[in-house]
């Protein structure tokens, strides 16, 4: 069984993933999970990419230790996302 890369664990992407004009990042609300946003790509323009941040302790990552410090959360996200997503 293959282990997902750290990027795949942190980021769920859909829509235009090749050359999007706009990258929309969705962060989960308290108690939420990525499924909240999964259908959004159907409503977005074709040139947009939907990116859902899936932090530890949520949904498929429920057995991982959650991050409770906002600064640490931002550092972890920035380390696990591709550079072009942060530009």
Split the chain (87 residues) into runs of 10 and give each run's mean pLDDT: 59 81 88 84 90 86 89 86 65
pLDDT score recorded for residue 85:
61
pLDDT score recorded for residue 4:
52
pLDDT score recorded for residue 19:
83
Q: Give how far the C-alpha of residue 8 lies from the chain's centroid of Cα atoms, to the nearest Å.
A: 8
pLDDT score recorded for residue 77:
85
pLDDT score recorded for residue 1:
35
CA distance 55 to 62: 9
pLDDT score recorded for residue 34:
83
Between the alpha carbon of residue 68 and those of residues 4, 29, 55, 74, 76, the distances in Å are 23, 13, 11, 11, 12
pLDDT score recorded for residue 81:
76
């Amino acid at each position: 069984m293959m282990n997902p890369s750290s990027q795949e664990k942190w980021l769920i992407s859909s829509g235009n993933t090749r050359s999007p004009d706009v990258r929309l990042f969705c962060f989960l609300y308290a108690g939420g999970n990525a499924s909240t946003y999964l259908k959004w790509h159907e409503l977005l323009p074709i040139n947009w990419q939907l990116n859902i941040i899936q932090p530890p302790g949520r949904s498929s990552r429920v057995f991982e230790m959650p991050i409770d410090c906002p600064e640490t959360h931002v550092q972890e996200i920035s380390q696990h996302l591709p550079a072009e997503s942060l530009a």
